[in-house]
Chains A and B, each alone.
Chain A
Amino acid sequence: MPAVPQTVDQVRRIDVDQYKYGFVTDIESDKAPKGLSEDIVRFISAKKNEPEWMLAWRLDAYRRWLTMREPRWARVSHSPIDYQNIYYYAAPKKKDGPKSLEEIDPEILKTYEKLGIPLREVAVLERVTPPEGESEQEGNGYGRVAVDAVFDSVSVATTFKQELAKAGVLFMPISEALQTHPEMVKKYIGTVVPISDNFYATLNSAVFSDGSFVYVPRGVRCPMELSTYFRINERDTGQFERTLIIADKGSYVSYLEGCTAPMRDENQLHAAVVELIALEDAEIKYSTIQNWYPGDATGRGGVYNFVTKRGDCRGKNSKISWTQLETGSAITWKYPSCILRGDNARGEFYSIAISNGHQQVDSGTKMLHLGKNTTSRIISKGIAAGRSNNTYRGLVMAHPRAKGARNFTNCDSLLIGDKCGAHTVPYIEAKNSSAVFEHEATTSKISEDTLFYCRQRGLSAEDAVALVVNGFVKDVLQQLPMEFAVEAQKLISISLEGSVG
């Protein structure tokens, strides 16, 4: 069954030419010369005043990167990227003086205001109410989000630092963590995504400029949502941020990530690395709303989003959950993964990917079951419109040792128009007999019976469809933290009726 008009209309509203965040902030910036060499790597390291071992680590990565080739297995195509024609470091020029919110360039503050990201510590966001049964008590943090704002290559502001410090939570730019907690960074960085993991991750290891660092101590439930907002502003720059989140035994943290970029004719490269580490009984919830500039209606410009995200459920009973809403980028190449190392660990992946115009999405997840009785769940909804291609690519693997591993995967996709493509490429590898894997990619047509039932109870046909569809997409949307869910629901209240495979 083809897509219903309501769906077509909804997707149209977020088509590439409707991109709202394409403005450029006029601000002077400090840039390293274009191109990549050992000198640039040294320059970035020196700029950040990094310890010697960090520089050595970067140089090691750079040398390895020189011997590597771009991966070609993904279902994306692009003209060759000239890695020498990119600025690897760009930072807004700032005057000397103490670093406080008041000191931030008003232009940058205005930018974030325009993007709807509050950098001033606003106590309560509008529209958001705590879930039933939980009142807005002091300390439970509903309605407040601590934000780390990354502008091109540097973090410009981090909010609610003091309050987080009270709980013992470290939330700061990774460049700052390298100054204040180098031993901790050294202990964990590169342990989930090794230096030579893949072409883009290795490039990132060599030139990463900033990103967030989070440490939640033993038994602490992080008092508020943590959030990083990434913004590419400068022309011809690449953004290479690195995020490292460690949840110590028995702790919990929810982390949100958002990203936008100005409209430019050339393609910009974004090669980030995110490493999550969950120790015993810890839980990390990582949510992304990815809305990089997707290019114009003819396929010109847009961000190449080549990202390596991986979580390591290192301890027993740990849990990592990825939720993503992907609407931006010219090309998305991204597979947030979970290494389920500890016994009883749990991995989750919830994704809605919507592609329009000439966008190419090749995204999915990897669930690597290594520990006993590890479980994972994958729910993925892909919607392709225009001339875009939308691929789900996922791996579920049970190691011979992973007795009792369980996975459930469900991926649906929907095509709007006959010039786009929707693809499903699951890899399911069971290496022991007690692993139970179930995978389905099903048509998600609304059943006549369900509709009849609703209509019999007095709902109009339209309301009945909306009701069923909301229930359908809810799988993913309900995984988003409240602050994001409101935004996401506005962004897509999309019907998946008539979706294919």
Chain B
Amino acid sequence: MNAEVRPIKTAAETALATSFAAVKRALPGPATVGVLREDAFRRFETEGLPHRRVEEWKYTDLRALMREAKPLAGVPDAAAKARAKAALATLAAVDARSIVFVDGALVPELSDLDGLEAGLTIRSMAQALAAGDGDLLAHLGRLVPTDDVAVALNTAFMGDGALIHVAPGVALAQPIHLVFVNAGSEAASVFARSLVVIEDGARAMLLESHVGCSDASDHQVNAVLELKVGDAAHVDHIKITGEGAGALHVSSLMAAIGAHARFNEFLFTTGGGVVRNQVFVCFGGEGTVAGIRGATLLQGHQHADTTLVAEHAAAECTSREVFKSVLDEHGRSVFQGKIIVRPHAQKTDAKMATHALLLSETAEADNKPELEIFADDVQCGHGATSGALEQELLFYLKARGIPAKEAEALLIQAFVGEAVEGIEHAGLRDALIDRVVAWLKARE
């Protein structure tokens, strides 16, 4: 366990270095952004791809899982756009303003960019970067600073994404749906970067979907969303990961939450070969109430990792974290959740629960719920369980004439339901429950 780690680069690391040297001048942004990219890439070069000896990546060894680095995705062609358009029709039937990115690039003709409500602005990240937008640069990478290598890699290569601003006090009637579609015929890598600023007292709901619809399913996605939630703002963010079967998907959410705000986060994962969802939330103002939840349904050889760091940096905030995973076949779920309570964050009330349901003998669940507490007048707790379906419950249902498979499905649905019910938007809640049901049907 203490052997020296040899500084030999893997094929993927070498390819990324070559790629960066080749494209760095063509990537959007003025010199200041160029410096950001160079710094970030140097950080990646010193650390390399995260591996199992890096505590935060212990269970998701990217060095082993990412054998090669796919070339950067090009501008989507007409065929890709057509495939994307077809894929959009199958997405959750929620009335929302869609902003569509195909292979990482904003496609205006597929997006609803007209008739924006007063106080709402939506722009392309690539364009704002190219223009050296002052507001953007003031926030970029600064909301919740992290030294995570995946985020650094995104900063080095960041291309397009959404730049959204909601003015103070504005309540958006319609949710905004960011749709990232991988539709290229060749496997490619996408570095999406978005920044969403919801000002004080505003209300917004943000959906984020990642779907794959091309023949090549082994795309590599590294997506970063930076989110600022102002004082007394109310924001919901729901991320749905439904990538293609072979996709490598790493996403990072960095959210800075103000005082007396309400923030709800939900991570729903069914797709992708290797998925890593990172959430870094910082509660910087007093009296905020937050719910961070997620559901993961895996089969085949899928691997999904949810890594959450919830930092209570201000007093009297309440946070609830509930994560559920259902694992079939060789599915493997990882949950690493850390609650940090800073010295002055007295009266913090934080509770985290993570539950894994193993449906097959070969599934694996790794849980690491952490507490890091520096204040003495707080209530923090966590619970973690893993196991199979309870035989007594199954028996009870079967005794009442419900076939075994159906009884199993009912129990699984109820298990996942506890997390999904935390979603406030009724339409979306139903849509996700439908997806759970569909997943269970496909299992039969």
A residues neighboring B (CB under 8 Å):
1-3, 67-71, 73, 197-199, 400, 413, 415-443, 445, 498, 500-501
Please name all residues of chain B whose beta carbon is closer than 8 Å to the beta carbon of A437 when the two chains form the complex: 367, 384-387
From A413, A425, A432, A440, give the contact of B361 (CB < 8 A): A432
Indicate with 1 or 0, residue by residue over B278-316, a CB within 8 angstroms of chain A CB atoms. Answer: 000000000000000000000000000000000000000
Known contacts A73-B55, A443-B380; A421 and B367 CB within 8 A of each other: no
- 5 of the cross-chain contacts (CB-CB < 8 Å) are A67-B4, A429-B364, A437-B386, A441-B369, A501-B380
The distance in angstroms between the C-alpha atoms of A442 and B364, with both chains bound, is 25
* Whole-angstrom CA separation of A393 from B20 in the bound complex: 39
Q: Mark B356-378, 1 if CB is under 8 A from A, else 0.
A: 10111111111111111111111
Minimum C-beta distance from B375 to chain A (A):
6
Asked whether B1 lies within 8 Å of A71 as measured between CB atoms, the reply is: yes
Bound-state Cα–Cα, A419 to B373, Å: 10
Contacts A429-B366, A430-B364, A501-B382 given; does A413 touch B373 at CB 8 Å: yes
Contact status A430-B371, CB under 8 Å: no
Q: Are B383 and A439 in contact (CB under 8 A)?
A: yes
Closest to A432 in B: B361
For residue B30, CB closer than 8 A to chain A, the reply is no
Q: Do A68 and B3 have beta carbons less than 8 Å apart?
A: yes
CA of A426 to CA of B382, assembled, Å: 10
**A421 x B387 contact (CB < 8 A):** no
Q: Evaluate contact between B359 and A424: CB separation under 8 angstroms.
A: no
Bound: A128/B267 CA distance, A: 58
Q: Once the chains bind, are A423 and B372 in contact (CB under 8 Å)?
A: yes
Instruction: Answer whether residue B174 sits at the interface, using C-beta atoms and an 8 A cutoff.
Output: no
* B377 and A436 form a contact (CB under 8 A): no
Given A198-B2, A441-B371, decide whether A428 and B386 contact each other with a Cβ distance below 8 A: yes
B381's partner among A71, A421, A425, A440 (CB-CB below 8 A) is: A440
Q: What residue of chain A has the Cβ atom nearest to residue B54's Cβ?
A: A73
The interface residues of chain B lying within 8 Å CB-to-CB of A439 are: 367, 369, 382-385
Given contacts A67-B3, A425-B368, A440-B383, contact A433 B360 (CB under 8 A): yes
* Bound CA–CA A422/B3 (angstroms): 30
Asked whether, in the complex, the Cβ of A418 is within 8 Å of the Cβ of B371, the reply is no
Contact B2 A424 (CB under 8 A): no
Among candidates A2, A199, A428, A431, residue contacting B368 with C-beta atoms closer than 8 Å: A428
5 further contact pairs, Cβ within 8 A, besides A418-B376, A500-B379? A2-B376, A73-B55, A439-B369, A443-B379, A501-B382
Instruction: Please indicate the chain B residues that have their CB under 8 angstroms from the CB of A1 in the complex.
Output: 377, 379
Selected from A415, A427, A432, the residue in CB contact (under 8 A) with B376 is A415
Known: A68-B2, A415-B375, A418-B343. A430 touches B368 (CB 8 A): no
The answer, yes or no, to whether B402 is at the interface (CB within 8 Å) is no
Given A417-B376, A430-B364, A500-B379, are A422 and B386 also a contact pair (CB < 8 Å)?
A: no
Chain A residues positioned under 8 Å from B359 (CB to CB): 433
Partner of A421, one of B55, B344, B372, B380: B372
Say yes or no: A199 contacts B383, CB within 8 Å: no
Contact call B361/A501, Cβ cutoff below 8 A: no
Alpha-carbon distance between A428 and B384 when the two chains are bound, in angstroms: 8
Are A424 and B371 within 8 A (Cβ)?
yes
The complex places the Cα of A438 from the Cα of B368 at a distance, in Å, of 12
A71 touches B365 (CB 8 A): no
B59's nearest neighbour on chain A, judged by CB, is A429
A199 and B2 form a contact (CB under 8 A): yes
Q: Which residue of B lies closest to A3 (CB)?
A: B376
Q: Counting chain B CB atoms within 10 Å of each CB, which of A3, A199, A424, A443 scores highest?
A: A424
Partner of A422, one of B344, B373, B381: B373
What residues on B are CB-neighbors of A199 within 8 Å?
Answer: 2
| Interface of A, helix, strand, loop or mixed by DSSP | loop
B388 within 8 A of A: yes
Residues of A within 8 A of B370 (CB): 423-426
Within 8 A of A (CB), among B1-40: 1-4
A416 and B375 alpha carbons, distance in the complex (Å): 9
A501 x B381 contact (CB < 8 A): yes
Contacts of B382 in A (CB 8 A): 424, 439-441, 501
In whole angstroms, how far apart are the Cα atoms of A442 and B351 in the complex?
9
Q: How far is the CA of A2 from the CA of B369 in the complex (A)?
A: 23
Task: Provide the bound-state CA to CA distance between A425 and B384, in Å.
Answer: 12
Given contacts A415-B375, A419-B343, contact A438 B366 (CB under 8 A): no
Write the chain A residue with the least CB distance to B379.
A443
- Near A by CB (< 8 A), chain B positions 51-97 give 55
Identify which of residues 213-259 in chain B touch chain A, using a CB-to-CB cut-off of 8 Å: none
Contact A433 to B363, CB < 8 A, known contacts A198-B1, A423-B371, A425-B368 = yes
A434 touches B388 (CB 8 A): yes
Nearest CB on A from B323, distance (A): 13
B2→A426 contact, CB < 8 A: no
Partner of A430, one of B3, B365, B373: B365
Contact between B375 and A418, CB atoms less than 8 A apart: yes
Distance between A437 CB and nearest chain B CB, rounded to angstroms: 5
The minimal Cβ–Cβ distance linking B318 to chain A, given in whole angstroms, is 14
CB-CB < 8 A to B363: which residues of A?
Answer: 432-433
Residues of B within 8 A of A435 (CB): 358, 386-387
Determine if B384 and A418 form an interchain contact, defined as CB atoms under 8 angstroms apart.
no
What's the minimum C-beta distance from B433 to chain A, rounded to whole angstroms?
24
Residues of chain B from 323 to 372 with CB closer than 8 A to chain A in the complex = 339, 343-344, 346, 356, 358-372
- Distance A429 CA – B364 CA, assembled complex (angstroms): 7
Chain A residues, Cβ within 8 Å of B378: 500
Tell me the smallest distance from the CB of B55 to a CB of chain A, in Å. 6
A contact residues around B343 at 8 Å (CB): 418-419
Chain A residues lying within 8 Å of B377, measured Cβ to Cβ, are: 1-2, 498
Contacts of B381 in A (CB 8 A): 440-443, 501
**B362–A400 contact, CB under 8 A?**
yes
Q: Which residue in chain A gives the minimum CB-CB distance to B58?
A: A427
Q: How far is the CA of A272 from the CA of B228 in the complex (A)?
A: 50
Q: In the complex, A418→B364 CA distance in Å?
A: 39
Please give me the residue from chain B that is nearest to A69 by CB atom.
B2
The one of A73, A427, A433, A501 in contact with B388, judged by C-beta atoms closer than 8 angstroms, is A433
A442 to B371, CA, bound (A): 11
CB nearest neighbor in B for A416: B376
Closest to A440 in B: B383
What is the minimal beta-carbon distance from B412 to any residue of chain A, in angstroms?
13
The 6 A-B residue pairs with the shortest CB-CB distance in the complex, in nearest-first order: A433-B358, A501-B380, A415-B376, A436-B387, A439-B384, A428-B367
* B366 close to A427 (CB less than 8 A): yes
Could you say which residues of chain A place their CB within 8 Å of the CB of B375? 415, 418
In the bound assembly, the distance between CA atoms of A69 and B3 in angstroms comes to 7
A427 to B2, CA, bound (A): 20
Chain B residues contacting A427 (CB-CB under 8 Å) are: 366-368
B residues in contact with A422, CB < 8 Å: 371, 373
How far, in Å, is A380 (CB) from chain B's closest CB?
12
Smallest CB-CB separation from A442: which chain B residue? B381
Report the nearest A residue to B388, measured CB to CB.
A433
CB distance from B397 to the nearest CB of A (A): 19
* CA gap between A350 and B323 in the complex, in Å: 29
Are the CB atoms of A500 and B361 closer together than 8 Å? no
B373 touches A500 (CB 8 A): yes
